[in-house]
């Protein structure tokens, strides 16, 4: 690989959650992964959590990530101590300036924020810099047709994703997609962490406004969506 420094892509913290549902206000964390990738996308550190969320895991969610209520209760750690550990692990990575990669960051980071509040913990305080490959891909390859799920986007950039909907597999693939995007769009690779974070705040807002306008023009006149990023 070319040894030219790629700024924010040199070392990345990667983060993903698997949960009880899709509503960030009510869903609970079931599994989590925080890892570190080097500039070649090699995993050099990793931590994984299996959590007893304290609520029933719906059958639909269990079918996606493979963790049943019974398994979580038998093998999972208590939610409060696990969530505190996840937050501290992410906070330590951000303090040293390592960018945090999360695909569709507002889902994972908002849900983690709500879990922190639920358990009386101090949430991450305006996490930055965050790298969201979904926002980057939409902004930089705006007119590409098709879905933008992690699995589809990874395939587009030549990143292998084995075991989709496993928190570790998804987090690692997201980090490698971020690095692949940087290789494909050198103008983004040249930005520092603060600059790429600021661009994504703007791009996420623009993407939400565009989608909202499209939905309103196509049969849902009252549709509202948020472009707040990386948390909502």
Which of residues 82 and 5 earns the better pLDDT score? 82
Which residue range is the domain that position 197 belongs to? 8-217
**Is 198 among the domain residues?**
yes
The answer to whether the pTM exceeds 0.85 is yes
CATH of the domain at 63: 3.30.420.10
How much is the pLDDT for 5?
47
Residue 1 has pLDDT above 60, yes or no: no
Residue 57 has pLDDT above 70, yes or no: yes
* Tally of domains within the chain: 1
**Is 50 among the domain residues?**
yes
Residue 23 has pLDDT above 90, yes or no: yes
**Is 128 among the domain residues?**
yes
**Is 229 among the domain residues?**
no
**Is 225 among the domain residues?**
no
Closest CA relative to residue 49, chosen from 72, 22, 69, 66: 72
**Is 78 among the domain residues?**
yes
For the segment 93-106, the average pLDDT, to the nearest whole number, is 96
Give the number of C-alpha atoms closer than 13 A to the C-alpha of residue 179, restricted to the C-beta side: 24
Percent of the chain with pLDDT over 90: 95
**Is 49 among the domain residues?**
yes
Closest CA relative to residue 196, chosen from 140, 113, 116: 140
């Amino acid at each position: 690989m070319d040894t030219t420094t790629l700024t924010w892509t040199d070392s990345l913290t990667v983060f993903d959650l698997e949960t009880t549902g899709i509503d960030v206000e009510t869903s609970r964390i079931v599994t989590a992964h925080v890892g570190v990738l080097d500039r070649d996308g090699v995993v050099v550190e990793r931590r994984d959590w299996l959590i007893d969320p304290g609520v029933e895991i719906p059958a639909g969610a269990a079918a996606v990530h493979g963790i049943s209520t019974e398994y979580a209760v038998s093998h999972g750690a208590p939610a409060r101590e696990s969530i505190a550990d996840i937050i501290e692990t992410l906070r330590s990575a951000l303090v040293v300036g390592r960018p945090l990669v999360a695909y569709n960051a507002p889902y994972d980071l908002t849900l983690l924020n709500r879990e922190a509040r639920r358990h009386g913990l101090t949430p991450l305080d305006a996490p930055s810099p965050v790298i969201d490959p979904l926002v980057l891909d939409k902004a930089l390859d705006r007119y590409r047709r098709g879905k933008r799920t992690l699995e589809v986007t990874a395939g587009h950039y030549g990143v292998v994703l084995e075991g989709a909907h496993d928190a570790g597999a998804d987090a690692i693939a997201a980090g490698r997609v971020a690095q692949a995007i940087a290789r494909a769009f050198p103008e983004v690779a040249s930005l520092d962490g603060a600059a790429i974070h600021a661009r994504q705040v703007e791009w996420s807002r623009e993407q939400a406004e565009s989608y909202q306008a499209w939905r309103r023009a196509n049969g849902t006149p009252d549709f509202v969506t948020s472009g707040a990023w990386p948390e909502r």
